């Protein structure tokens, strides 16, 4: 038995019903952190079996490489394992593969908006729009900073990930 997905395609009932992609510039700091944190929170909420999660970069600087060691370390200190993730470059086909694409900042939103096919139905938005109470719309890039910058990314990502889990739970 199959059921239609968001693109009207048939999929078996045990397949994920929502697909989520997190995007930043290099896919080594913010978006893999978001992928790892969201995946962990979704698993705790019992949602992981019906959600496909991935992350990507708007630029191909680090394709195939692991997350930044500082992102790995900061995530590990909070109980998240992102060490096995590998950077990949966003592909225009991702607009069809994912229902929801969350970007970390306006620059990357502009890059993806310019690439977006006119018939794309994927939701494309800033990740922090899920948590307006933060009073911040962008997850700052910690790459040129220190440990506190990576901790700040985790604070923001945890908050927005919890809001996304809550949203998906209500949609269930």
Q: Considering the entire predicted model, what is its pTM?
A: 0.90
Annotation says 24 is catalytic: yes
Given 54, 68, 105, 141, the catalytic residue:
141
Q: CB-based contacts of 69: which residues, under 8 Å, 6+ apart?
A: none
- Contacts of residue 125, Cβ cutoff 8 Å, sequence gap at least 6: 100, 101, 102, 103, 109
Give the domain range for residue 77: 3-171
The CATH number of the domain holding residue 11 is: 3.40.50.2300
- What mean pLDDT do residues 119-136 have? 96
Q: Which of 30, 70, 88, 100 is the catalytic position?
A: 30
Least confident among 11-15, 37-41, 118-122, 141-145:
11-15
- What distances in angstroms separate CA 58 from CA 1, 38, 54, 66, 94, one per listed residue? 37, 20, 14, 16, 12
Give tens-digit pLDDT for 59-99: 999 999 999 999 999 999 999 999 999 999 999 999 999 99
pLDDT band at residue 172 under the 50/70/90 scheme: confident
Say what the pLDDT of residue 16 is: 52
pLDDT one-digit tens code per residue, 3-57: 333 333 444 444 458 999 999 999 999 999 999 999 999 999 999 888 999 999 9
Looking at residue 15, its pLDDT comes to 47
Total domain count, the chain: 1
Q: CA-CA distance, 1 to 136, in Å (whole number)?
A: 44
Query: Out of 24, 70, 94, 105, which one is annotated catalytic?
Result: 24
């Amino acid at each position: 038995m199959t059921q239609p997905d968001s693109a009207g395609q048939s999929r078996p009932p045990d397949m994920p019903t929502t697909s989520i992609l997190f995007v930043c510039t290099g896919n080594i700091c913010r978006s893999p952190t978001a992928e790892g944190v969201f995946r962990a929170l979704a698993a705790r909420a019992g949602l992981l079996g019906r959600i496909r999660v991935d992350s990507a970069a708007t630029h191909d600087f680090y394709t195939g490489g692991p997350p930044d060691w500082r992102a790995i370390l900061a995530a590990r200190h909070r109980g998240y394992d992102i060490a096995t993730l590998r950077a990949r470059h966003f592909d225009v086909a991702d607009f069809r593969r994912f229902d929801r694409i969350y970007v970390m900042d306006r620059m990357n939103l502009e890059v993806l908006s310019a690439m977006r096919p006119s018939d794309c139905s994927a939701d494309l938005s800033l990740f922090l729009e899920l948590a307006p109470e933060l009073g911040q719309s962008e997850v700052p890039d910690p790459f040129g900073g220190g440990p506190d910058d990576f901790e700040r990314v985790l604070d923001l990502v945890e908050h927005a990930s919890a809001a996304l889990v809550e949203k998906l739970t209500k949609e269930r």
